[in-house]
Amino acid sequence: MSSSRGGCHDRRRLALSLIAIISNASYTTIAPILPLEIDKHNIPEQWVSLIFLAFSIGSSISPPLVARHFETIGTVNVMSYSMIGMSITFWFIGHVFETAELISSNNTADHHMLIVGMLTCLQFFLGAFFSIVTTGYYSLATLIFTERECIMSYDEASVGIGHRVMIVPYEWI
């Protein structure tokens, strides 16, 4: 009986680790590429800070607002919805520049502000979804496992792996 319980714990540990790796790897692909794309479209560099600041604001605001839903609809459900939200947000970020071309007039300033506005909003939501997923896997780790130091070490190692997995030269993409 104890071996099946250990196997369940191993699967849970693996699942939390994979969630941490994938969510962190997904975000780290944006950080080196987005500023290059912004520069390629001749948008003034001062807007990059605002765009990335929106991620931090979204990630600071959302956990307190969503934490109560961990108990009402379940942590796994909230994390699942947030991972879907992250995926959709990534898709939109990938299409910002084409969308701005379709929407904006020939006025370069309007075009730049449209891109900055869309990226700022998307980064805000990406930060919100990302922090909800992060809060969820840390919450689950402390609720499911009695050996909290061990599982937190796995989570932190997985976060580090996620940060390193997707860092590739821009030319490869």
The stretch 123-145 carries a mean pLDDT of 87
Q: Are 12 and 144 in contact (CB under 8 A)?
A: yes
Indicate the pLDDT class of residue 69, thresholds 50, 70 and 90.
Answer: confident
pTM (predicted TM-score): 0.80
Output the CA torsion sign for 75, 81, 87, 88.
negative
Distance CA 133, CA 77 (A): 10
Distance CA 5, CA 23 (A): 27
**Residue-range domain boundaries for the chain:** 2-172
Q: Residue 121 has what pLDDT?
A: 97
Which CATH code, of 1.20.1250.20, 1.20.120.1200, 3.10.129.10, 1.10.8.60, is assigned to 2-172? 1.20.1250.20
Q: Are 79 and 133 in contact (CB under 8 A)?
A: yes
- When the pLDDT of each residue in the chain is averaged and rounded to a whole number, the result is 81
Q: What is the pLDDT of residues 72-118, one digit of tens each?
A: 998 889 989 999 999 999 999 999 998 888 887 666 778 889 999 99
Distance CA 93, CA 88 (A): 9
Distance CA 62, CA 43 (A): 29
Distance CA 69, CA 140 (A): 14
Q: Residue 128 has what pLDDT?
A: 95
61: which 2 tokens? 């605001």
Distance CA 3, CA 11 (A): 12
Cα torsion for 13, 15, 16, 19, to the nearest 10°? 160
What spatial distance separates the first Cα and last Cα of the chain, rounded to whole Å? 48
Distance CA 45, CA 51 (A): 10
62: which 2 tokens? 């959302």
